[in-house]
Amino acid sequence: MKLKHIKQAISEAKSQDHFSSLPPSFLKVPSPKSSAELEEDIKDYITSARIEHFTSPLSPDILDQCLKLFEDNMGDFYRSSQWGLDMDEKRKELTHDDARFVIVLTNDISTTNSVAESGEESAKKQIVLGFAHFRYEEDDEDDPTVPVSYLYELQIQSTQQKAGIGKRLMNIVELLALKSHMHKVMLTVFKANEKAMGFYLNKMKYEVDENSPSNFEGEENEKCDYEILSKNLLRRTK
């Protein structure tokens, strides 16, 4: 595929909003499998959660919640990786102009704070239960061949995992990519993150991408601690 056609496809994808055309059934939050696993303050309002689409920039409160969720889930993996954990760099990543998000949010929740305790109106906030961060871009910086939707993050609150939320967000990311004429959905996952690896390979039917380091010879690639996975959307529509 010629580079100019790749860039044109990406430019068109960035200018479109297909989220509003998604079936309402796609935007329903799956019910938790076991409410006994949930904390009291979450299980009371999980049924009132909703899925929304955002483009950068996020509001400061939602951005901070996404960053905290990322660090809670992935901090140890990054600290032990060849990259290390750099939260300033992650903040820049989530505030990139091309960043798009699909976020599971609760409806406004009253919070107890000094304002509420003083007798004034209770403060309200939305709780991020999970989010996906993705962008439309080239499949390879050095030798691009197709336009793709690259998943940078899929993070779900620990109390909400195994409830179907991650799969729902992935389905939405894939459907948006398909509607935007992207050829693939791609992502990076640590080899040590066995739970995530199993989720993508087994449940979501992703494969090791041809650009993944494990497909290349050399000591550097052999010692690489991550894989690049992908799902070919065009092949699945034929």
Number of domains in the chain: 1
Contact between residue 36 and residue 163 where contact means Cβ atoms under 8 Å apart: no
Express each pLDDT in 9-63 by its tens digit.
999 999 999 999 998 888 888 664 444 444 555 555 555 788 999 999 999 999 9
Residue 123's domain comprises 3-237
Q: Is pLDDT larger for residue 163 or for residue 185?
A: 185
What pLDDT is recorded for position 25? Answer: 83
Q: Is the pLDDT of residue 186 over 90?
A: yes
Q: What share of the chain is helix, strand, coil (3-state, %, to 5)?
A: 45, 25, 35
Residue 189 has pLDDT above 90, yes or no: yes
Q: pLDDT band for position 187 (50/70/90)?
A: very high
Are 219 and 234 a contacting pair, CB within 8 Å?
no
Given a contact cutoff of 8 angstroms between Cβ atoms, the answer to whether 66 and 58 are in contact is yes
Average pLDDT over the chain reads 88
- At 110, which CATH number? 3.40.630.30
| pLDDT tens-digit series, residues 73-114 | 999 999 999 999 999 999 999 999 999 999 999 876 655 444
Does the pLDDT value for residue 168 go beyond 80?
yes
Which has the closest alpha carbon to 182: 139, 153, 141?
139
According to the model, what pLDDT value does residue 236 have? 60
- Which tens digits make up the pLDDT trace of 202-232? 999 999 999 999 999 998 888 999 999 999 9
Both tokens of 236, joined, read 């699945």
Position 161 pLDDT exceeds 70: yes
According to the model, what pLDDT value does residue 37 have? 47
* Global pTM value: 0.88
DSSP string, 15-58: H---GGGS-GGGGSPPPPS-GGGS-HHHHTTGGG-EEEEEESPP
Q: What is the pLDDT of residues 127-151, one digit of tens each?
A: 999 999 999 999 999 999 999 999 9
